[in-house]
Amino acid sequence: MKKIRSFFNREQNLLVHIIATIIVTIAGIIIGLTGLEWILVFSMVAFVITSELINSAIELAVDLYTSEFNPLAMVAKDVAAGAVVVSAFTAICVGLYVFLPKILSMLN
């Protein structure tokens, strides 16, 4: 647990994901998500956070391997960061699929 706490201090992006998770959870409770919708939402949360953790691990490993500029190291870091972007975009799409119809029906 101590390692995870220190990771939160080092990686501010993870804190952003946690805050987004709290907001989504509160919205889901207010809107009244079904069991399947909760599974979809929290699967996406886990997907994004896992991607962020893997990205950080890759960045740390690359930094440990070389302190000099290396084009391949830059590519490895960029690809890992790109995976986080893809997972976040996927989560947004699933979130829209789950939340948008419910929000629109509440407005009507």
- Per-residue pLDDT tens digits for 6-43: 766 777 788 888 899 999 999 999 999 999 999 999 99
Cβ burial 44-82 (10 Å sphere, 16+ → b, else e): bbebbbebbeebbebbeebeeeeeeeeeebeebbeebbe
Going from N- to C-terminal start, the domains of the chain cover 2-107
Answer yes or no: are the C-beta atoms of 55 and 84 closer than 8 Å.
yes
* Structural tokens at position 37: 């919708």
Its pTM stands at: 0.84
Amino acid sitting at position 14? L
* Residue 93, pLDDT above cutoff 90: yes
Q: Please state, in angstroms and rounded to a whole number, the distance separating the CA atoms of residues 23 and 107.
A: 20
Name the CATH topology of 2-107.
Answer: Helix Hairpins (1.10.287)
- Residue 16: CB atoms within 10 A of its CB come to 12
Predicted pLDDT of residue 8: 67
